[in-house]
């Protein structure tokens, strides 16, 4: 169940997300902000649904309404690696492409493990408990306050630091 969710999310990133990026407009940026604001809502629905009814919400929440965030890093690293291997392009790849690739792998692991925990909740392998909720709450809270970075960046930075300290 968790593997299927991640594979479906990557497939949607590659197909629908790429089509979205080709549109390229100001309304797309607004859609991105709305998608980031809906992530904690969708993830909360998925977590507390306690059944497979929450899977579509998990998919849309983890993959930000199919914006290609996960595959973007891989695509950028592949694009940069297609340049001729000079010393300066290798430095550029290590700085930008390598960073994008590592970010994509980290995002994929983060999403995969989240899908695994939610699937474990759905199947009864793990029961909803106070310690589990306390582990998930900071992650949902971080995503809940992400829209602050577009309006009050300093507040966003403070919030991230505070949540990281308590997490």
Beta carbons within 10 angstroms of residue 62's beta carbon: 24
pLDDT of amino acid 15: 80
What helix, strand, coil percent values describe the chain, rounded to 5? 85, 0, 15
Separation between Cα atoms, residue 132 and residue 134, nearest integer Å: 5
pLDDT of amino acid 45: 92
Most confident of 12-21, 77-86, 120-129, 144-153: 120-129
Span 22-40, pLDDT tens digits: 776 667 778 888 888 898 8
Helix (H) or strand (E) holding 65: none
**In Å, how far are 18, 29, 84 from 23, measured between CA atoms?**
9, 11, 30
Residue 83 has pLDDT above 60, yes or no: no
pLDDT above 70 coverage of the chain, percent: 78
Angle subtended by helix axes 69-81 and 2-12, to nearest 10 = 60
Only one residue has tokens 């790429």, namely: 18
Span 88-138, pLDDT tens digits: 555 665 665 667 777 778 888 888 888 898 889 889 999 989 998 888 888
Separation between Cα atoms, residue 79 and residue 152, nearest integer Å: 33
């Amino acid at each position: 169940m968790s593997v299927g969710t991640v594979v479906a999310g990557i497939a949607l990133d590659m197909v629908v997300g790429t089509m979205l990026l080709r549109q390229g407009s100001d309304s797309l940026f607004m859609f991105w902000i709305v998608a980031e604001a809906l992530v904690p809502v969708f993830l909360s629905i998925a977590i507390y649904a306690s059944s497979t009814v929450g899977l579509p919400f998990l998919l849309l929440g983890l993959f930000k309404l199919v914006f290609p965030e996960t595959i973007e890093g891989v695509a950028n690293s592949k694009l940069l690696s297609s340049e001729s291997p000079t010393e300066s392009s290798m430095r550029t790849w290590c700085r930008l492409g390598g960073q994008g690739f590592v970010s994509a792998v980290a995002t994929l692991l983060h999403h995969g493990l989240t899908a695994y925990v939610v699937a474990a909740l759905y199947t009864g392998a793990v029961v909803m408990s106070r310690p589990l909720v306390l582990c998930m709450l900071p992650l949902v809270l971080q995503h809940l306050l992400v829209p602050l970075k577009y309006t009050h960046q300093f507040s966003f930075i403070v919030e991230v630091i505070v949540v990281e300290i308590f997490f």
